[in-house]
Structure 1
């Protein structure tokens, strides 16, 4: 069976091609056309095939980033790279930086908060850092508890999971990439408190807006100063994502993000900004992980082990989050001089924590790897900015894997397309069916 691989990534002589099936890099905008070549290979389920697909995902998304991530180990533990900043590839240093708000900031140039402030407004500078950030986190943490997350997932996507089980049991083909887009958007809309929308179309439309907004971050690995044109586009997309917030701002329940922000005194515009942040953070990265985890389990043949021993699901989730690390680089701005690993960092410098490189240093996806203390949940950040949705993420992935395994049969990947020219590496299409 033919395979189609975009020439943006050419595997080296030691690379093992992926399993047979339709594999294609698809352009992420209407202005680029998909380019593909056909190569015939013998089907093979190997660890290196899984690694090939993961590298190809990064290369199709941002070719330069794929090179940087694979070379980051050479910068261990800390090295200055001209035009980029200080590159950190050591887990202990990464954790220290995450926990040090006296010397490192999320709202200075080179960090995500600085980028978001230009898209959403100056309130980000106040509420992403310092006492107001700490107070806000304390007021909203209860929205993300495990019991609340379990109830929310059942309410928002319970019927989707039932349909997924039925489709796979019946041997029907399911596009996991599209499933993940709708799945994640429905859950975040519920958490935020947006009006319920029937059907998949509104959720796919919102996810497309999320992708377009996130993609404006391409090219901002060094500096997060955003060109005026991108600011205008970003604000228009943010307005589109949060268009329903005004209609529910006065009536949203306090158990939703909109209602909680209103009760805490946030203005409508600020609440819209926070809604956008939550929706973006909780959709595109998890959708990336969902598709890639399904592919990793298939390509390493680990799905058969899960079928015979479902108690391995927590191990699969931990390994999937580790290997995918959907936000591969996390930036921080240096606010005060500090010495790290024998190097002197100056105020105004930028730091890049190579999360994907650090998390993947222990090795390939392996259900037997066990817990790695050094990299523990580094993919969720750390310190005061540890992702509040970590428990929700585990609930979402657990329910998702339960549904995948419910048929009792392994699945085969019949077609894949990597998304091209994207900020977050993910599958544009991932068709599976049980065998």
Structure 2
């Protein structure tokens, strides 16, 4: 029998892409690995997934069927070195300290700390807060900081009369938000549009000409403010560190775009779904009774939601995996959501699961560079929502439709 939390999660997946919940639920039957005609190999076993992530001699992230191939078309073939070459190892080594907990906590406090305090204040005053809308703005603020955009830059670059999808539709807008938030909402919508161009790439990551032109246009807009920010950025920022490392401005802009896009939809999705899961499962009461479990609530959120629900790799050389023969040129899809949800429902008192570890962040040398930043942002949001020490209730919810990364359109809450 489906729990309330599971029912909402599956409905949310279906709203994003109707076929998605069927694939991810049935995907468990692929354990450990199974071939599907025209689509390639599907993996639903954590050990096999980790084996593939760590086998760089036989699997690639930059060949057809993987994310690097998609990005190379959009911002240039140079990303191949950034993803898999010597440049990848050198870059990760040199910027690692930027993603340590102390640094990411400070970044979150500086960039979105005031907005989080406002959420706490609005709830404490008896207000109703749309967490979905707030999440888009919070993430938009983070993206603007990463790519060096000021609100005026955003308004100038994205002045196409769209004004953010939610605001344009005229429903579900959080009335407690200020006009100062509008640029960040607009920025989020345009990053999401870029991500949504990935819909339909299950069989092939080769973009059609129309989608490719739009993707390049959006990427160019997102990086337009980078050159100026690159020159003035402090060394404790990503762009400033790129300058100090001698990474040219074009490559720094590309890196900023990659990191911004990778952490935009997925983070906003995790934020809203975390709050819904805590409410729908009743686990918010367990968290209020044991606030020291907050890091566990964040970890469980990432396990159950697994926003990067499927990760692609291409086979570059014949190899045997789990008794199956994979041939060069074939594609592999690692069913992250299916693997992580096989553990069970959302429980903040669940102990660390060694088999899955942080599989929601990938694995091997491509483990998400911003993993700690995600923990810092989700943890800070949860602290803001539990500051009053009282449970909350959901008064309205709607799923966001036709999106690559499933999330909520509206999730309005108030303190009970």
TM-score, normalisation: structure 1: 0.87
Q: Is the 8 A contact 2:46 2:339 kept in 1?
A: yes
* Corresponding residue number in structure 2 for 1:366: 347
Secondary structure of the equivalent of 1:250?
helix
Alpha-carbon deviation of 1:64?
A: 1.5
CA distance in 2, matches of 1:314, 1:182: 23
* Corresponding residue number in structure 2 for 1:55: 10
Q: Is the 8 A contact 1:193 1:253 kept in 2?
A: no
The CA deviation string for residues 239-294 of structure 1, in whole angstroms up to 9 with x for no partner, is: 22222112222222222222222333333332222111111112210110010010
The CA deviation string for residues 391-419 of structure 1, in whole angstroms up to 9 with x for no partner, is: 11111111111110011211111111111
- Per the alignment, do residues 396 and 132 of structure 1 end up closer, same or farther by CA in structure 2, a change over 3 Å counting? same
- The equivalent position to 2:212 in structure 1, one of 225, 231, 252, is 231
Secondary structure of the equivalent of 1:274?
helix
The CA deviation string for residues 119-168 of structure 1, in whole angstroms up to 9 with x for no partner, is: 11111112110211111111111211111111111111111111111111
Gaps of 5+ in 2: 153-178
Alpha-carbon deviation of 1:366?
A: 1.4
Residue 48 of structure 2 corresponds to residue 67 of structure 1: no
CA distance in 2, matches of 1:65, 1:110: 18
- The equivalent position to 1:174 in structure 2, one of 126, 129, 138, is 129
The CA deviation string for residues 194-224 of structure 1, in whole angstroms up to 9 with x for no partner, is: 4466921111111001110000000112211
Q: Is the 8 A contact 1:193 1:257 kept in 2?
A: no
* Corresponding residue number in structure 2 for 1:35: none
Q: Is the 8 A contact 2:147 2:226 kept in 1?
A: no
* Corresponding residue number in structure 1 for 2:142: 187
The CA deviation string for residues 92-126 of structure 1, in whole angstroms up to 9 with x for no partner, is: 00011111111111001111111111111111112
- The equivalent position to 2:76 in structure 1, one of 113, 116, 121, is 121
Q: Is the 8 A contact 1:50 1:296 kept in 2?
A: yes
Secondary structure of the equivalent of 1:413?
strand
TM-score, normalisation: structure 2: 0.91
Q: Is the 8 A contact 1:195 1:248 kept in 2?
A: no
Secondary structure of the equivalent of 1:429?
strand
Residue 104 of structure 2 corresponds to residue 149 of structure 1: yes
Alpha-carbon deviation of 1:192?
A: 4.3
* Corresponding residue number in structure 1 for 2:173: none
Q: What RMSD in Å do the two structures reach over aligned CA positions?
A: 1.4
CA distance in 1, matches of 2:119, 2:289: 20
Q: Is the 8 A contact 1:152 1:190 kept in 2?
A: no
Secondary structure of the equivalent of 1:249?
helix
CA distance in 1, matches of 2:384, 2:292: 14
Question: Which of the two has greater helix per residue?
Answer: 2
Number of matched pairs: 390
Residue 375 of structure 2 corresponds to residue 394 of structure 1: yes
Gaps of 5+ in 1: 1-13, 16-47
CA distance in 2, matches of 1:109, 1:66: 25
Q: Is the 8 A contact 1:258 1:275 kept in 2?
A: yes
CA distance in 2, matches of 1:247, 1:130: 28
Secondary structure of the equivalent of 1:415?
strand
Secondary structure of the equivalent of 1:333?
strand
Q: Is the 8 A contact 1:193 1:256 kept in 2?
A: no
